[in-house]
Amino acid sequence: MRHHLILRVVSKMLIPFILLFGLYVQFHGDFGPGGGFQAGVIFAAAFILYALVFGDDQARKVIPDKALILLVPMGLLIYALTGFAGILLGGKFLDYDVLSSDPTQGQHLGILVIELGVGITVAAVMISIFRAYAGRTKAIDKEDW
Amino acid sequence: MTTSPDMVIIIIDLVLLTLLCLTAFAIMLVRHLFAVVALTGAFSLLSAGLLVTLDAVDVAFTEAAVGAGISTVLMLGTLALTKRREATKPKLSPIGLMIIFLTGATLIYATPDMPKFGAADSPGLMHIVPDYIEGSKNDIAVPNIVTAILASYRGYDTLGEVAVIFTAGMGVIILLGRRREDEYGYSEDNAAFPLHPEGSDNTTGKDKS
Amino acid sequence: MIEALISHYNYWLIIILMMLGLYVVVSRGNLVKKIVGLNIFQTSVFLLYISLSKVSGGTAPILTGKPESFSNPLPHVLILTAIVVGISTTALGLALVVRIRESYGTIEEDDILIAERSQDVSERNGGSA
């Protein structure tokens, strides 16, 4: 898509900041509005913007399908395994108090880890949903732009 | 009449709700589906604004990112694969009108039993929520109460929701993940998520029967 | 009277919005339009929940160290997850619409029913012959 110079330049400038904002929302969710759900969606939005502007095939090089299909269940597993870690350390399922010697620290750790799991699954699911649609659509010819 | 902050909130509320109703009305009447999708994005953005005035900043954040961002892209993707116009003109449907008037009347009949808008003594606030607020102040020490409840007090709930998202994602991949080969010359080798490695041809369904 | 209006107007407007969404679902035959209607309905349910959580004079439920009254955070949690689950199910519905279009060549409900019926008839004739 050589014809969309402005779109390409602007999105190239924007995408790093969108990703950075996604990370901020992910890890600052304890203190302000945000958390895994929002951060996952923002992350996915950055990759979808990249795929829209630079083409689906280019985007597949950034995150290969094989990596994506692994990331989808990984977040859910991180979440569930954190729950089982609570059991192994002598607490209940999803009881974060026992994750660290100090219960408050344990709660912080648990929240951070499970929010990360939520973020990974949400982002991966959103990207693969978009990819499933994009893989069905005929590539737009250069003349059609 | 005093212009208390509440009055300002009520006015903003009324304006945004009216705009939402007008957008929904326009969505109902417009036949061009691209316009419908654009209006849906505007609808989400308006509802995110309304959620901010109702103090639900986390929810507004999610609604803005999901509704105005991802869902618009998905609907445009669907339109690219289907059709851009509705076939029939919108006409009055008597059964539909009857259903919505009956349901709406029942719901409005039930509203006087609900707590007053903005009431500080509504039953929802009385029972477990004070414990949650105290707990996230003292036990968890996380300033954002919503995160504390979401991740810690209601961890089971959130685990279930993540499982639902995972399942829905898997469903979409199974339904659409395979690229179409017939018209566009894609082969199974570069399929997004190949489901039939041998390249079986029993998935199109059109040429059955 | 005016007090009842101020204390419940929010619910009434949201119910009107809900009914607009329901009407789109019931009356329109186009499947994409039906899903959009379902989205309107869903968003108005979210707004109803959040309206219930509002406390006048309260702030967003984020602790700042000062004593203050908060809006009820519990509905926020429920709706926050419901929004993301909603987009996932919407995506699933739209994927079904795409597959329906590939099988029947249309996304209008009436045409799909006609195609189904004619297929049924031809199958029955084929079976009896």
Instruction: Report which of residues C1 and A65 the model is more confident about.
Output: A65
Could you tell me the pTM of the whole model? Answer: 0.85
Note whether C95 contacts A: Cβ–Cβ < 8 A: yes
pLDDT of C129 reads 47
The alpha carbon torsion through B30, B35, B36, B41 (nearest 10 deg) reads -140
Please compute the mean of the pLDDT values over residues B159-177 and round it to a whole number.
90
Q: Which residue has the tokens 């395994």?
A: A81
Please state, in angstroms and rounded to a whole number, the distance separating the CA atoms of residues B135 and B130: 8
Residues from chain A that touch B174, judged by Cβ atoms under 8 A, are: none
Q: Could you report the per-residue pLDDT of B124-158, keeping only the tens digit for each? A: 788 888 888 888 887 877 888 888 888 888 888 89
Note whether B184 contacts A: Cβ–Cβ < 8 A: yes
C65 lies in a domain? no
- C20: which residues sit within 8 A by CB, 6+ positions away? B21, B24, B25, B28, B100, C40
Q: Could you report the per-residue pLDDT of C54-99, keeping only the tens digit for each? A: 887 778 888 877 777 888 888 999 998 899 889 988 999 999 998 8
Note whether B65 contacts C: Cβ–Cβ < 8 A: no
Segment B60-64 long-range contacts (CB within 8 Å, at least 24 positions apart): B60/A33, B61/A25, B61/A33, B61/A34, B61/A38, B62/A37, B62/A38, B62/A41, B62/C80, B62/C83, B62/C84, B63/C43, B63/C46, B63/C83
**Which CATH number do you get for residue C120?**
1.10.287.3510
Q: Which two tokens stand for residue B162?
A: 């993540």
Q: Could you report the per-residue pLDDT of A20-67, keeping only the tens digit for each? A: 999 999 988 888 888 888 999 999 999 999 988 888 888 888 888 888
Please compute the mean of the pLDDT values over residues A5-32 and round it to a whole number.
90
The domain of C32 spans 2-56+71-128
pLDDT of C37 reads 92
Nearest-CA residue of chain C relative to B115?
Answer: C52
Q: What count of other Cβ atoms lies within 10 Å of the Cβ of residue B115?
A: 16
C64 lies in a domain? no
Q: Do A130 and B73 contact (CB within 8 A), yes or no? A: yes
Q: Do A92 and A83 contact (CB within 8 A), yes or no? A: no
Domain count, chain C: 1
CB contact under 8 A, B79 and C28: no
Please state, in angstroms and rounded to a whole number, the distance separating the CA atoms of residues A139 and B29: 32
Residue-by-residue DSSP string for B117-129: TB-TT-HHHHSSH
Instruction: Report which of residues B196 and A13 the model is more confident about.
Output: A13
Residues from chain C that touch A40, judged by Cβ atoms under 8 A, are: 84
The rounded mean pLDDT for chain B is 80
C52 lies in a domain? yes
- Position A25, amino acid: V
* Residue B179 pLDDT > 70: no
Q: Could you report the per-residue pLDDT of C21-63, keeping only the tens digit for each? A: 999 998 888 899 999 999 999 999 999 999 888 887 778 888 8
pLDDT of B1 reads 44
Among the listed residues B68, A91, B198, B188, the one whose alpha carbon sits nearest the alpha carbon of residue C39: B68
Q: Could you report the per-residue pLDDT of A113-130, keeping only the tens digit for each? A: 999 999 999 999 999 999
pLDDT of B197 reads 47
- Which chains contact B through at least 3 pairs of Cβ atoms less than 8 Å apart? A, C
C84 lies in a domain? yes
C95 lies in a domain? yes
Among the listed residues B151, C81, B160, the one whose alpha carbon sits nearest the alpha carbon of residue A110: B151
Residue C63 burial (C-beta neighbours within 10 Å; 0-12, 13-18, 19+): middle
Distance (Å) from the alpha carbon of A2 to chain C's nearest alpha carbon: 30
pLDDT of B5 reads 58
- How confident is residue A142, by pLDDT bands cut at 50, 70 and 90? low
Please compute the mean of the pLDDT values over residues A89-104 and round it to a whole number.
82
- H helical segments located in B54-93: 57-63, 71-81
Enumerate residues 83 to 122 of chain B having a beta carbon within 8 A of any beta carbon in chain C. 83, 86-88, 90, 92-93, 95-97, 99-101, 103-104, 107-108, 111-112, 114-120, 122
Sorted by where each begins, the domain ranges of chain A are: 5-139
Enumerate residues 42 to 81 of chain A having a beta carbon within 8 A of any beta carbon in chain C. none
Q: Could you report the per-residue pLDDT of A101-117, keeping only the tens digit for each? A: 888 888 888 888 999 99
Helices (H) and strands (E) counted in chain B, each on its own, are 9, 0
Please provide residue C70's backbone torsions phi and psi, each rounded to the nearest 5 degrees: -110, 155
CB contact under 8 A, C53 and B83: no
pLDDT of B183 reads 44
Name which of B61, B150, B192 is nearest A135 (Cβ-Cβ).
Answer: B192
* Residue B159 pLDDT > 70: yes
Q: Do B88 and C108 contact (CB within 8 A), yes or no? A: yes
Residues from chain C that touch B158, judged by Cβ atoms under 8 A, are: 81
Name which of B86, B117, B149 is nearest C33 (Cβ-Cβ).
Answer: B86
Among the listed residues A19, C79, C95, the one whose alpha carbon sits nearest the alpha carbon of residue B167: C95
